[in-house]
Amino acid sequence: MHPKFETRAIKSTENTFNNAKPVSTPIYLSSTYERNADGSYADNLVYSRNNNPNRAIVEQSIAQLENGKYGFAFSSGLAAISAVFQSLKSGDHIILPDDIYYAIKKLMEQVFKRWNLSYDLVDMSNLSAIEYVIKPNTAMIWIETPSNPQLKLSDVKAIAEIAHKNNILCAVDNTWLTPVFMNPLDLGADIVVHSTTKYFGGHSDVLGGALVLNNDKVADKIKDIQLLYGAVPSPFDCWLIARGIQTLHLRVSKQAENAFKLAQFLENHPKIEKVNYPGLESHPQHLIAKSQQNNGYGAMLSILIKGNEKKAFNISTKLKYFTSATSLGGVESLVEHRKSVEGPESNTPENLIRISVGIEHIDDLISDWENALSINMS
């Protein structure tokens, strides 16, 4: 019997291009995959929460770029970070930087405290302070370098050594430097964390997170958490991130070059009190940056202007080529007055402006600041 209209509408739209060789990876929107007659699955594809070609490409790519064995992609940086904490057991203790990414502190307070994870906030530039808070149940030391928004650095090698001496895992949030500028696993870290929302995506149009690690046992736990909690990225999100990875090196190299020049200009400007940029010799930990980073110093900086909160906020709105918005890592330059974002309990200086430098021409970026500083101060 010839199939009826409704049936033909389904069968006639089946994918028949299984042997095609597209140069650019297609977006595999399929949530499920046909099983072979012998019960096996082609390319090990069963269901998109388990695995998906676009996600697999992102995962193996980020693992390769970070010199790691296992890569895992998540729907946001925070989902990746949560997976790390979910891999710990109730009763464990964690050492976190005192200036850790703002939302992670909230995550600990509002969620993981109830799971009976405890933590201490420590100044990570003080190695003996880290050793001092280690307890028998300490399971992890978390590093974020450079820190947000004051660009304080942590010595990854030294901290990883302290961790391993005490049988503790060391996780490094490498979002701000990307594998172009630092490879934490090579420095001894056990887990690398990324918000791929930032430089990997690179165009401020996608959220994502990733973990890279070598440890088989921890990788098994993360794999289960990724599958069972289900905070996986969509195929389209993965496609955008894979596309971003193709130009990651080009973009961040240019961004870091621009950031260096802008930092030098601002450092010599009479209306600026201080510039926080690890590439400057005036940065108190410049030598740590030099020893653990490759190819440059990143594209994030912060400045303290001479003046109060209102003045700092006003300057950030006078710029033409720096959009006043949160986040970082995109091709467009952004500025942010951090104190007013973080709220009254934040320790961020009121006159601090955070800058994410993009790929615009450096002459325009510098003259934009020259102009904004002259308008506001006159």
The set of catalytic residues is: 49, 101, 173, 198
In angstroms, rounded to a whole number, what is the distance separating the alpha carbons of residues 86 and 99? Answer: 22
Compute CA distances 170 → 107, 113, 139, 157, 188, whole Å. Answer: 19, 20, 9, 10, 8
Interface with ligand PLP includes 198 (CB under 6 A)?
yes
Q: Give the shortest CB-151-to-ligand PLP separation in angstroms.
A: 12
Interface with ligand PLP includes 197 (CB under 6 A)?
yes
Rg of the Cα atoms in the chain: 23
**Span of 154-162, 163-171, 190-198, 240-248 interacting with ligand PLP by CB under 6 A:** 190-198
In angstroms, rounded to a whole number, what is the distance separating the alpha carbons of residues 240 and 261? Answer: 30
DSSP 3-state of 361: coil
Q: Report the site for ligand PLP in 159-188 (rule: CB under 6 A).
A: 173, 175-176
Q: Give the shortest CB-58-to-ligand PLP separation in angstroms.
A: 14
Interface with ligand PLP includes 207 (CB under 6 A)?
yes
In the chain, how many H helices and how many E strands? 14, 12
Interface with ligand PLP includes 74 (CB under 6 A)?
no
In angstroms, rounded to a whole number, what is the distance separating the alpha carbons of residues 111 and 102? Answer: 14
Shorter beta-carbon distance to ligand PLP: residue 101 or 239: 101
Closest residue by Cα to residue 303 from 325, 343, 274: 274
Q: Give the shortest CB-102-to-ligand PLP separation in angstroms.
A: 9
Shorter beta-carbon distance to ligand PLP: residue 283 or 354: 354
Shorter beta-carbon distance to ligand PLP: residue 78 or 140: 78
Q: Give the shortest CB-193-to-ligand PLP separation in angstroms.
A: 7
Interface with ligand PLP includes 77 (CB under 6 A)?
yes
Interface with ligand PLP includes 354 (CB under 6 A)?
no
Structure tokens that stand for 281 in this block = 């010799």
Shorter beta-carbon distance to ligand PLP: residue 267 or 342: 342
Interface with ligand PLP includes 226 (CB under 6 A)?
no
Interface with ligand PLP includes 296 (CB under 6 A)?
no
Contact with ligand PLP (CB under 6 A) among 58, 63, 78, 225 = 78
Interface with ligand PLP includes 266 (CB under 6 A)?
no
Structure tokens that stand for 192 in this block = 């690398």
Compute CA distances 137 → 134, 218, 292, whole Å. Answer: 8, 17, 29
Compute CA distances 289 → 133, 155, 158, 283, 296, whole Å. Answer: 25, 8, 13, 9, 9
Q: Give the shortest CB-194-to-ligand PLP separation in angstroms.
A: 8
Helix (H) / strand (E) element for 131: namely: helix 127-133
Q: Give the shortest CB-117-to-ligand PLP separation in angstroms.
A: 18
Q: Give the shortest CB-130-to-ligand PLP separation in angstroms.
A: 19
Shorter beta-carbon distance to ligand PLP: residue 153 or 272: 153
Q: To 10 degrees, what angle do helices 53-65 and 235-246 make?
A: 40
Q: In this structure, are residues 335 and 355 in contact, taking their beta carbons and an 8 Å threshold?
A: yes
Q: Report the site for ligand PLP in 97-156 (rule: CB under 6 A).
A: 101, 144, 148
User: What is the total count of residues that contact ligand PLP (CB under 6 A)?
Assistant: 14
Shorter beta-carbon distance to ligand PLP: residue 209 or 349: 209
Shorter beta-carbon distance to ligand PLP: residue 272 or 358: 358
Where helices occur in 12-116 by DSSP H, the ranges are 53-65, 77-86, 102-107
Interface with ligand PLP includes 352 (CB under 6 A)?
no
Distance of CA 84 to the CA centre of its chain: 14
Distance of CA 65 to the CA centre of its chain: 14
| Cβ burial, residue 44 (10 Å; 0-12/13-18/19+) | exposed
Interface with ligand PLP includes 330 (CB under 6 A)?
no
Shorter beta-carbon distance to ligand PLP: residue 105 or 269: 105
In angstroms, rounded to a whole number, what is the distance separating the alpha carbons of residues 184 and 65? Answer: 11
Q: Give the shortest CB-76-to-ligand PLP separation in angstroms.
A: 4
In angstroms, rounded to a whole number, what is the distance separating the alpha carbons of residues 134 and 111? Answer: 22
**Residues engaged in binding ligand PLP (CB under 6 A):** 76-78, 101, 144, 148, 173, 175-176, 195, 197-198, 207, 209
